[in-house]
Amino acid sequence: MKRILLFTLLAVACSGYADDHTVPDAAFSAARSLYDTENYAAAAAKYDDILSEGWQTAEVYFNRGTALARLGKTGEAIASFETALLLNPRDADTLANLKFVRSNAGLPAPKQTLLDRALGYLAPREWRLLSIIAWWGFAAFLCVSRLLPGRAAWIRNGYIISLAILLIAFAGRVHNWQQVRAPAVVVTAKSAQALYAPLPDATRFFDTPEGSTLQLVEQTGDWLRVRSGAQVGWLPASACTIVRVAQ
Amino acid sequence: MKRTIHRIRAILNTFFLVLLAALVAQSVLAMDVTLDIEPQVLQLGEAAVARITLHDAPNAPPPRLPALSGFNIDSLGREQSYSIVNGKQSSQVSYTFRLTPLAAGDFQIGPFQYDTGSGLINIPAVALQVLARGEPAAGGSAQNWDDLMFAAVTVNSPTIYAHQAFDLVLSLYTQPGLNLDRNISLSNFDTTGLTLSPFEELPPSRESVSGKLYEVRRFRTRALAIASGNFALSPNLQVNLIVQDGNRSRRNDPFADSFFQGFFSRVETRPQTVECRPFTLQIHELPSDGRPPSFSGAVGQYSFDVTAAPLQLKVGDPITLTLRIQGRGNMDAISAPIVTVPDNFRSYDARLIEQQPNAGLKVFEQVLIPRDGSASEIPAVSFSYFDPTRERYETIVRGPFPLALSATASAGTASVIQSPGSPAPAAPAPLGHDLVYLKRAPDHWHMRTPETAQTRTIRIAVNTVPALAILLAFGYARRRERSERNPLELLRRRAPRSARAALSRSEAFLKEGDIHSAAQALSDALNRFFGPLLDLPPGRISSDEICHRMKANGLPEAQCTSLHDVFSVCERLRYSGPGAAGSTAEAKQELERITQQFMELLPACQRVAR
């Protein structure tokens, strides 16, 4: 009976993630062939098609960014690499290409605190999984310690450790939430300048060369309020890309 | 020989004399003398202090102030101090004088010369203004507040243009004797069309306005005009007046003596709003006439410099163009000047490499790469700005920068004669870093799907099940702890279940036809139920006691009678012995009846006992 119940639960859980779409391996290979023949624009368009179908994997964003970098579209390439890093933050290839594109364009890497680096080590999905495991572990250890008092010390230690992991995972989730709330914005226009006000003829505030990575403060209509260090200015939404992965 | 020695001695003497004269001249030149008078605006009855400070002249004779009609001048003494900064010693001697005015008017001390003993030093004149002392006011409230205290807004530029940075100063004028605390706040300040930096307070000063003396506190902000038009500025300053508490009753105060009042007098602060005198800020639009094409919004006074390096290079080598803009104005709005280069240059975007807002400096760097040998020079670079002082556009042009290009080794005229059949030379592989190649298709594709009801249920379950488990575990543990603390409660809770178990046993005996054992089991059930329920020891469980207590607890009379019947029949069948209670069939029927009665009474008794 227990096995049947477990099997049913697993089936129900897995059915939520099953899909009836055909995986776009063919389109992925075609894009790669186009890239190999130096048809970077067509390759990037192919990757855009895959993304527009709803597929989202770090590999697609990485390849798209590489094709865009070959085309000289620094801003869009950086935005694509940043999105790939949101899905797979430890990918060495993405980090290397991002560094290469930035250094070629003379752009500094955005400053990150030690806490940001630590909490950005795991992807949002990994933080979510870790928090679920820690939450269940914490609950299990706590229940056992309440139901079986005076048992071995490993139960108490287990629930303290799982609580610590749960708190860390919670910090990671908060960090992810912050990234969703105030995501990075990459300037994709060739010569954009942040303005004092969301008006086309407003006074220019500070330079935002193509590929600059800023932080979104708020969005009003076709204008984005962005932060660069201590300066906060307005950029037209058409001049930049918000780095965001649909949850 | 003697003559030679004499000549050497004469040369040495001359050398030392010249050296001494040079040292004296240097000391005179290095000497710095300053005259400072504070305050420079005063009333009759007040005194000003003049201070003559000699820097690096410890042995100079004491200076004297020239006689000044209308003033008494008294010497207050001499102060000397030494300091060593970075190993360099410096000394400072100050001579102070008290200047007591004898009449109102405008005066001037100096200019005069000070003889240091080794030379004369000119000391510039300092103007003094002495005001006649006004009639003392009868009370603060009786005087017009605008005369006692007012505020004004001023700007440092007569004409202000859009995008111009300028100083905006808020001045608070108060008559001497009016005490304010240090806290001043600003309200009703409509800054439409302006961007303001935080206010900073300037050193206080004194001014004469309409023949009256005022203490002036000034607050300056760096403002930037972001739009043209007329803007009325009339902010309010919230100040706190410090006044003596005159209302305090001192009738029974043992310290109501003038001696103690100095120690124990109370002061209080009274908030006061000071309206600034209306000021209209007129911001002009930048003129369109004469606007150069290279103008990109810089307004102020700037210098512009461009350096290019290296100028002797090979084709394909980078040239770094450093564009340095320094000055005073709207530095934030300044972007890199556009460097227009012909097609034989490859140009990269300029980037900001240095920025010092306080020093008004911005340095940009731009990389140019000559594509071929036809690139003979870097064209001139121009930077335009609008100078609000001269009210016209200025353009600074730097360059052109001539280049000395040499051909690269690969572009040389020499050619390699290739023998037929030999393999073609491989294309030169670029050295250094490049982009990492594409990734393979992922093993698992992830589709972005909206959350369905099923996934939502799973998500909610995943999050809530542990919480429910924790709640249940805590509830169970709490109940168990309560039971451990109160065993009677545990027995009382278990009584119905225990009684039902005994009744089941009784029914089993009844089926076997063992009436005596069945009655014994029924009695056991009654004891197990009522003992813990009413907290009675086994010896005190009797029909009278149980019925009495149940009745007292509110069990209806009919049910009490029924309960009594159960007890009496059970006792009778239990103690009558086998075969003594009539026929077995009757006894069995009777036992079944009272068992049924007891089963029906159980919930009511349990409820009543609770």
Q: Shortest CB distance from B335 goes to which of A58, A140, A193? A: A193
Chain B residues closer than 8 Å to A35 by CB: 438
Cβ within 8 Å of B, A 94-123: 96-97, 100-101, 105-107
pLDDT value, residue A213: 92
pLDDT category, B266, cuts 50, 70, 90? low
Q: Say what the pLDDT of residue B137 is.
A: 39
pLDDT, residue B355, reads: 85
pLDDT digits (tens, 9 = 90+) for B186-230: 887 877 778 888 888 888 888 888 778 888 888 888 888 887 888
The predicted structure's pLDDT at residue B428:
43
The pLDDT of residue B128: 84
**Cis peptide bond prior to B337, omega within 30° of 0:** no
Of A93, A96, A132, the CB nearest to B439: A93
* ipTM greater than 0.90: no
Top pLDDT among B196 and A9 is at B196
Position A245 pLDDT exceeds 90: no
pLDDT at residue number A50: 92
Q: Which of A119-123, B405-409, B483-487 has the lowest mean pLDDT?
A: B405-409
Q: What integer best gives the mean pLDDT of chain B?
A: 79
What average pLDDT does the segment B427-439 reach? 64
Do B438 and A63 make contact, defined as CB atoms within 8 angstroms? yes
B369-379 pLDDT per residue, tens: 887 778 888 88
pLDDT tens per residue across span A69-80: 999 999 999 999
Does B353 score more than 90 pLDDT?
A: no
| Candidate ranges A86-95, A197-206, B315-324; pick with highest mean pLDDT | A86-95
Chain A closest-CA separation from residue B609 CA (Å):
31
DSSP B456-486: HHHHHHHHHHHHHHHHHHHHHHHHHHHHHH-
pLDDT for B10 equals 72
Tokens representing B295 are 């103008």
Q: Identify the residue with better confidence: B4 or A181.
A: A181
Contacts of A57 in chain B (CB under 8 A): 442, 445-446
pLDDT, one tens digit per residue, over B576-595 is 765 554 567 788 888 888 88
Point out the least confidently predicted range of A94-108, A208-222, B1-15: B1-15
Q: Which chain A residue lies closest to B367 (C-alpha atoms)?
A: A106
182-241 in A: which are within 8 Å (CB) of B? Answer: 190-191, 193, 196-197, 202-207, 209-210, 231
H/E element, B300: strand B295-309
**Mean pLDDT on A181-187:** 92
Task: Report CB contact under 8 Å: A100, B367.
Answer: no
pLDDT(A9) > 80: no
What pLDDT score does B484 carry?
Answer: 79
pLDDT tier for residue B1 given thresholds of 50, 70 and 90? low
Identify the pLDDT of residue B413.
36
Packed helices B543-553 and B584-609: angle between N→C axes, nearest 10 degrees: 40
Q: What is the mean pLDDT of residues B27-48?
A: 74
Average pLDDT of the segment spanning A93-97:
92
Higher-pLDDT residue of B235 and B417 is: B235
Strands (E) across chain A are located at 184-187, 191-195, 204-209, 213-220, 223-228, 231-236, 240-242
Q: Give the pLDDT band (50/70/90) at residue B423.
A: very low
pLDDT value for A167: 94
What is the Cα–Cα distance from B303 to B326, expressed in whole angstroms? 5
Candidates B385, B440, B446, B482, partner chain A, best to mutate (most A CBs within 10 A): B446
Q: Are residues A139 and B470, on separate chains, in Cβ contact within 8 Å? A: yes
Q: Is the omega angle on the peptide bond into residue B400 within 30 degrees of 0, that is, cis?
A: yes
The pLDDT, as a whole number, for residue B433 is 62
- pLDDT value for A3: 53
Query: How far is residue B42's CA from residue B71's CA, in Å, rounded to a whole number?
Result: 12
- Alpha carbons B323 and B394: distance in angstroms, whole number: 17
Mutate which: A57, A63, A205, vs B, most B CBs within 10 A: A57
The pLDDT value recorded for residue A44 is 95
Q: Which of B195, B445, B460, B482 to mutate to test the interface with A (most CBs of A within 10 A)?
A: B445
Best mutation target among B321, B348, B349, B457 (most A Cβ atoms within 10 Å) is: B349
Residue bearing the bigger pLDDT, B412 or B469: B469
A35 touching B (Cβ < 8 Å): yes
Predicted local distance difference test score (pLDDT) of residue A84: 94
pLDDT of residue B264: 53
pLDDT for the residue B461? 92
> What pLDDT band is residue A97 in, cutting at 50, 70 and 90?
very high
Under a CB-based contact definition with an 8 Å cutoff, are residues B369 and B318 in contact? yes
Distance, CA of A218 to CA of A225 (rounded, Å): 5
- The backbone torsions φ and ψ at residue B452, rounded to the nearest 5 degrees and listed phi first, read -95, 170
What is the distance between the alpha carbons of residues B324 and B135, in angstroms, rounded to a whole number? 60
Nearest to B533 by CA among B565, B562, B491, B499: B491
Say yes or no for a CB contact (<8 Å) between A205 and B332. Answer: yes
- Find the Cα–Cα–Cα–Cα dihedral B408, B412, B418, B423, rounded to 10°: 10
Residue B4 φ/ψ, nearest 5 degrees: -65, -45
Q: What are phi and psi of A114, to 5 degrees?
A: -60, -35
Does pLDDT of A189 surpass 60? yes
pLDDT band at B436 (very low <50, low <70, confident <90, very high): confident
**pLDDT tens for each residue of B56-83:** 777 788 888 888 888 888 888 888 888 7
Cβ distance A64 to A48 under 8 Å? yes
| CA A81 vs CA A33, A103, B409, B442: distances in Å | 20, 14, 37, 16
In this structure, the number of other CB atoms found within 10 A of the CB of residue B179 comes to: 13
pLDDT of residue A45: 95
113-152 of B, contacting A, C-beta below 8 A? none
Phi, psi of B274 (to 5 degrees): -110, 120
CB–CB contact A135 B226 (8 Å): no
**DSSP secondary structure code for residue B331 in this structure:** G
For the whole model, what pTM was predicted?
0.43
Alpha-carbon distance A14 to nearest alpha carbon in chain B (angstroms): 10
Answer whether A147 sits within 8 Å of B473, measured CB to CB: yes
Q: Is the pLDDT of residue A1 over 60?
A: no
At residue B610 the predicted structure's pLDDT band, cuts being 50, 70 and 90, is: low
Q: Does B433 contact A at CB distance below 8 Å?
A: yes
Distance separating alpha carbons of residues B323 and B363, to the nearest angstrom: 6
Q: What secondary structure does DSSP assign to B156-191, as a single string?
A: S-SSEETT-EEEEEEEEEE-TT--B-S--EEES---
Q: Is B51 exposed, middle or buried (0-12, 13-18, 19+ CB in 10 A)?
A: middle
The answer for B 293-332 residues in CB contact with A (under 8 A) is 297, 330, 332
What is the average per-residue pLDDT within B1-28? 62
pLDDT band at B530 (very low <50, low <70, confident <90, very high): confident
pLDDT band at B12 (very low <50, low <70, confident <90, very high): low
Which range is least confidently modeled, A191-200, B52-61, B150-159? B52-61
Q: Is the dihedral of CA B535, B538, B540, B544 positive or negative?
A: positive
Side-chain half-sphere exposure of B293, counting CA atoms within 13 A: 4
Question: In one letter, which amino acid is B132?
Answer: A
Instruction: Report, in angstroms and rounded to the nearest whole number, the Rg of chain A calculated over CA atoms.
Output: 23
A19 vs B: CB within 8 A = yes
CA distance A23 to chain B (A): 7
Between B500 and B248, the more confident residue is: B500
Phi, psi dihedrals of residue B283, rounded to the nearest 5°: -110, 120
Best mutation target among A101, A131, A207, A208 (most B Cβ atoms within 10 Å) is A207
The answer, yes or no, to whether residue B262 has pLDDT greater than 60, is: no
| Confidence category of residue B4, pLDDT binned at 50, 70, 90 | low
Q: What is the pLDDT of residues A111-170, one digit of tens each?
A: 888 998 899 899 988 999 999 999 999 999 888 888 887 767 788 888 889 999 999 999
pLDDT mean over A29-36: 90
